[in-house]
Structure 1
Amino acid sequence: MRHQCRLPQLGRPADQRKAMLRGLTTQLIREGRVTTTRARAKALRDKAEKMISLAKEGSLASRRRAIGYIYDKQLVHALFDKAKERYGDRKGGYTRIVRTVSRRGDNAQMSIIELV
């Protein structure tokens, strides 16, 4: 039974799912927008907003947690430098999910997730 288990499985084992979300988070922070399936975008939103919240906090412990999650160390330093001025007045909601057309091969619902 999976009662009250809110973590989306995404059709992957736990290690592959965590690696995929780390890669998508890194790509989203680097490029600003990612096109992916709607289920992946919703799972990615939680991780990306957590990293931005860590960057807004700005402490050494937060920086070390972000470096442990995001693949690119220089990207983490850039995120921590810009997060205060970009998201300082926001209390949350740093990402936006926009629905797009279904994928041609398997008719999966696609979305664009982008930083606000």
Structure 2
Amino acid sequence: MRRLLVKVTCGADDPERCNQAFTVAATAAASGADVGLWLTGEAAWFAVPGRAEEFSLPLAMPLADLLGTVLASGQVTLCTQCADRRGITAADVLGGVRIAGAAVFAEEVLGEGVQALVY
């Protein structure tokens, strides 16, 4: 099974698109795929404890549960610039979330057999 990278660029400002990205990432991770979830733009806030729990979308799986699934079996990355713009530091994020920039994203997305989705 090839690696799946999901980059989510929105948050509560576009709840359906945001939840779809997390749902795809969590579903792939739960099925055994090697998943990387990149939190960028307004999605950067979901790297901070308690923020995913505040997100609500009717008839959707709770975002905190979806994020937990990816954290348990995949890799969650917070964009460096997105974190900096929001004043989020490594001390502020959930355990298991790494902070990395465009060079790491480019390296990962250009890997052999990688499928990237951007929401």
User: Of Structure 1 and Structure 2, which has the larger fraction of its residues in strand?
Assistant: 2
User: Of Structure 1 and Structure 2, which has the larger fraction of its residues in helix?
Assistant: 1
Please, what TM-score do these two structures have when normalized by structure 1? 0.30
Please, what TM-score do these two structures have when normalized by structure 2? 0.30
